[in-house]
Amino acid sequence: MSLVFHILTLFPGMFESPFRWGILAKAIQEGKIRVETHDLREYGVGPHRATDDYPYGGGEGMVMKPDPLVAAIEEIRARGAKGPVILLTPQGEVFHQQMAKELASLSDLTLVCGRYEGVDERVRQGWVDQEVSIGDYILTGGELAAMVIVDAVARLVPGVLGNEDSALKDSFEGGLLKYPQYTRPAVFRGMRVPEVLLSGDHGAIARWRRRQALKRTLERRPDLLSKAELDSEDLRFLERLRSEAEG
């Protein structure tokens, strides 16, 4: 069974190129995922297919009308989609790896790409299950955010990655950033690969990688450590790092 992404957008052409390359293109060709774009202008109101209008109460910009959005959502539902309707908005919960894992377990989901000054509040209240943001900044619309979510979620669908263990060792899995990676040559412009990685001692390599992940997380994203899966050895190592940093 494949995971179907329904994307409601005013600009379906934006999605033609990103999913024609790499792992996602192969996943689509093999039927592991499907990406279906729905042009909101096809559900527009009146002879000009209007999808936005001036805000009640005045103010700058335009607001996306409820009629086209709800018509598109209801048509997708009528065709059998049962997954959540997700509105991409700066006001939503910030997207994270655990959310990606949860969405990857679904059979389908619908992504609504907001534009302009946002969508009519009645759409949020009556037809949206979840609001999601990809970060604390403003984009011109939700299309790029939708692409990010499709990429992050699709790679977690079974069979999409060639090596299933790759996803288990990503940054943020287990709450930590990933350890440093090296490949050939062993010496590049005077910089050597750490000897432990050349030793063939898999136990030592695993310990080194774990400690490097802890060190990197402490240095770059210490906020993640409060939720990370840490054992007593991890805690002792972190305490030692903190003591060394304090001098």
Tell me the catalytic residues. Answer: 90, 117, 155, 170
Q: What does the radius of gyration of the chain's CA atoms come to, in whole angstroms?
A: 23
Number of other CB atoms surrounding residue 90 within 10 Å: 17
- The answer to whether the bond into 90 is cis (omega within 30° of 0) is no
Q: CA distances (Å), 22 to each of 78, 145, 154, 235, in order? A: 32, 19, 12, 39
The token pair at 173 is 């899995």
Nearest to 62 by CA among 141, 128, 115, 123: 115
Q: H or E segment at 212?
A: helix 202-220
